[in-house]
Amino acid sequence: MKTYGFGVDIGGTTVKLGLFRTDGELLDKWEIPTRKEDGGSRILPDVADSIKAKLEEKGIDGADVQGIGVGVPGPVTPEGVVRKCVNLGWGVFNVEEKLSELTGYPVKAGNDANVAALGEMWQGAGKGAKSLVMVTLGTGIGGGVIIDGHIVAGATGAGGEIGHLPVNDQETLVCGCGKKGCLEQYASATGVVTLTKRVLEASDEPSSLRELTELTAKDTFDAAKAGDALALEVLEQFGQILGKGLATIACVVNPEMFVIGGGVSKAGKIITDVVEKYFIPNTFHACREAQFKMAELGNDAGIYGCVKMIL
């Protein structure tokens, strides 16, 4: 094992990079813009240049670099092939081979949500666990399944796509994936807004939420904490849908813990409490011991998980 490694979490707006010691210590982190023009062809060369510059800045000998782990916002096969990252303008190609050519280092690639799960397991909320499912409640829902310390990448790179669990046959709105009634249509930040608008429309009761013009998930959870009856109704619906979704996942992989992250999770304990309330009665009895924890690494989970892949 060499002394240094890089974690590179490629997002639609910025690329987050981290220089790590291979014992897990984060030495430096920084960002570069994601240049999506020309089919995203500049993204990996920009990453390679940034890594080279960082090595020069720190006076680190390139021979002492173990490798580079890369997270991308889309499916990645176990062989490192991305299958269209719409957010980056990418088509189908092997990210590992390409970045390895550009840098000369071994490269391992993974889906960003899966990699974040691995990061939380290694240095965050899941430290010490052998298996966990991470649920990132952001604009959409990302998921990562870790079993025996390894990412379940899936046969076509779609392991942990739990935002698209079918949870409602009756839905009329179409999810970004093209289906109707996906988990992320209700339990993501945008999903909570949908639930809130529906609850407000279906009732004549007063609510502090009616005064807001640009409703956010945070508004709903803040109102619930303040005791607003309709916001509490949304919270219950959210818990019922997400708790049952996680109950389903537990019947499949029976994880030691669920780690909840992403913007929505900032609402705190009311989230894990209401999810656990509906998780327990819906899952198989032997799966009920699963712990629920808040993510600890925030936006750094990705770079931690990336570098872990090459250790």
Contacting positions for a copy of itself (CB under 8 A): 75, 78, 83, 130-131, 143, 145, 147-148, 150, 152-162, 164-166, 177-179, 244, 247-256, 281-287, 289-290
**Residue nearer to a copy of itself on the CB measure, 127 or 179:** 179
Name the minimum Å distance from CB 192 to a copy of itself: 20
- 193: exposed, middle or buried (C-beta count within 10 Å: 0-12, 13-18, 19+)? middle
What distances in angstroms separate CA 48 from CA 10, 15, 89, 104, 280, one per listed residue?
13, 12, 18, 10, 47
CB of 178 vs a copy of itself, minimal distance in Å: 6
CB of 283 to a copy of itself, least distance (A): 8
Find out whether 89 and 272 touch, Cβ atoms under 8 Å.
no
Question: Could you tell me which of 53, 64, 65, 94 has the C-alpha nearest to residue 7?
Answer: 65
Cα separation, 85 vs 68, whole angstroms: 19
Alpha carbon separation from 303 to 41, 99, 120, 309 (Å, rounded): 21, 16, 10, 10
In the complex with a copy of itself, the residue whose CB is nearer, 255 or 305, is 255
Say how far apart CA 178 and CA 157 lie, in whole Å. 18
Of residues 69 and 163, the one with the C-beta less far from a copy of itself: 163
CB of 20 vs a copy of itself, minimal distance in Å: 25
Measured distance CA(135)–CA(285) in Å, rounded: 22
- The residue among 5 and 159 lying less far from a copy of itself, judged by its C-beta, is 159
Q: How far is the CB of 277 from a copy of itself (least distance, A)?
A: 14
With respect to a copy of itself, which residue has the nearer C-beta, 166 or 263?
166
Closer CB to a copy of itself, 28 or 289, in the complex = 289
C-beta closer to a copy of itself: residue 127 or 150: 150
Kindly report the number of other CB atoms within 10 A of residue 277's CB atom.
13
Q: What are phi and psi of 36, to 5 degrees?
A: -90, -10
Q: From the CB of 290, what's the least distance to a copy of itself, in Å?
A: 7
Amino acid at 59: G
Alpha-carbon distance 187 to 156, whole Å? 25
What's the min distance (Å) between Cβ of 134 and a copy of itself?
12
Minimum distance from residue 62 beta carbon to a copy of itself (Å): 32
Please list the residues that pair with 18 across neighbouring strands: 7, 29
CB 71 within 8 A of CB 302: yes
Per DSSP, the three-state class of 142 is strand
Nearer to a copy of itself by Cβ, of 54 and 164: the residue is 164
